Amino acid sequence: MNPSRLSLVRSLVATLPSGRPGLFNPWADHCPHDAAGNGPQAKLERLALHLDCEPEFILAGEAPGYQGCRYSGIAFTSERLLGEGAIPRIAALPDRLSTRRLPFSEPSATIVWKTLYRLGIAERTILWNAMQLHPHRADELWSNRTPAPDEIRLGEPALRMLVETFPHAKIVAVGKKAEGLLGEMGVKVTGAVRHPANGGATEFARGLQALI
């Protein structure tokens, strides 16, 4: 593993709070549904592998979801995709990430990676979120909710650090919410594409292709 990328990830995670009600930090908090061996350190190391490239593109969504980043540690990336060995620089995982009967599969993650491979940019793209903590409803760990304005600001330091680390990468906002958050933070984006969820797969792919 590249020591510099591991150091980068530790610095990114150090900017984020942990233990906050309704906000789960995948790289610091422990989830009762994590499989053995998939604690914060495993997710941190997995993220370091994902970031171990010189990206041409950074795709930024709104926030992590329970079917994806909560257990994978990587935005727009599900347990199922990691188990299939579908993520560049990360070998197929031999063990499960969650205690759920079947591996989590996030529709948006599947669409995003399928599109990246089809466009030939999977190896040159890293995935991130404007707010990096998983916002969930009280007492419902397997849920997603829209982050509040004060919660959104918690992700700004890490986002800025990532952008400064890869100054030549083109930033692409995925979805209107991400576009708005990046705009509020003053982050210059190359463009914005529709979020792939809720029937947006075709427009997402078309929009991303137009930016290449």
Which pLDDT tens digit goes with each residue over 151-179? 988 999 999 999 999 999 999 999 988 89
One-letter amino acid for residue 206 of the chain: R
Strands 23-24 and 134-135 come out as antiparallel
Please give the Cα distance from 16 to 21 (Å, whole number): 14
H-helix or E-strand containing 174?
Answer: strand 170-174
Residues of the domain holding 104:
3-211
Short-list 114, 121, 32, 24, CA closest to 73:
24
Short-list 97, 79, 162, 99, CA closest to 126:
162
Q: Evaluate if residue 205 carries a pLDDT over 80.
A: yes
Global pTM reads 0.96
Q: Evaluate if residue 3 carries a pLDDT over 90.
A: no
CATH number at residue 176: 3.40.470.10
Q: Evaluate if residue 116 carries a pLDDT over 90.
A: yes
Q: Evaluate if residue 67 carries a pLDDT over 90.
A: yes
Confidence of residue 95 (pLDDT cuts 50, 70, 90): very high
Neighbours of 158 (CB within 10 A): 22
Q: Which strand ranges, in their side-by-side order, compose the sheet holding 191-193?
A: 125-129, 57-61, 170-174, 191-193
Which residues make beta-bridge pairs with 98?
34
CB 121 within 8 A of CB 55: no
Q: How many domains does the chain have?
A: 1
Q: Evaluate if residue 1 carries a pLDDT over 80.
A: no
Please give the Cα distance from 31 to 45 (Å, whole number): 17
Extract the tokens encoding 205: 């792919």
